[in-house]
Amino acid sequence: MALRPPRDPHKVGSFAELRSHYTELWEELDECRRMKGATNVILRARTGEVRGARADAKAARGQLVTLSRHQKAKDEANKAGYWSGAAAIAVTMMYEAFKVVGFPGGRAWAEWWGHEAVYGAIVWSVTMGFGWAYRATHST
């Protein structure tokens, strides 16, 4: 008996051989149907997963906020401006408080504290402190 049944029925040697090929073909057909059924079951299960994943992706796209580089830079500049403004206000308030309460070191140091270089150094150090705080709280 051949491995595969012949395509041409005239090449079959006997009626008994034709019956055996017929039985073999029906067994192969049944096996193909079982495989198709199993594949369909798996595909139905996967379809549910895919639909769920699509719904999740659609919800995520709805919540996604896309910023251009220009918008991101503008937002960062605004935040940095607020922090710089806060630093300048803090320095000014501290300087004015020194005028009212008195400069550290007494009257002898009043001229030193009032010099613009010292004031500039204070502004720079407080601004750096605010910059450090900004970077620490807004790092990504």
| Interval 77-118: pLDDT, tens | 888 788 778 888 887 887 777 677 766 777 777 777 778 888
pLDDT grade for 140, boundaries at 50, 70 and 90: low
pLDDT grade for 6, boundaries at 50, 70 and 90: confident
The confidence score (pLDDT) of residue 107 equals 72
Per the listing, tokens 């491995």 go with 3
Distance CA 45, CA 56 (A): 17
The confidence score (pLDDT) of residue 1 equals 41
The confidence score (pLDDT) of residue 14 equals 82
Contact 84, 130 (CB under 8 A): yes
Contact 91, 60 (CB under 8 A): no
Distance CA 132, CA 39 (A): 61
Per the listing, tokens 């720079």 go with 124
The confidence score (pLDDT) of residue 30 equals 94
DSSP-derived letter for residue 104 is T
Distance CA 82, CA 87 (A): 9
The confidence score (pLDDT) of residue 33 equals 95
Q: Is 76 left (phi over 0), alpha (psi -120 to 50) or beta?
A: alpha
**pLDDT tens track for 29-86:** 999 999 999 999 988 888 888 888 888 888 887 776 767 888 888 888 888 788 778 8
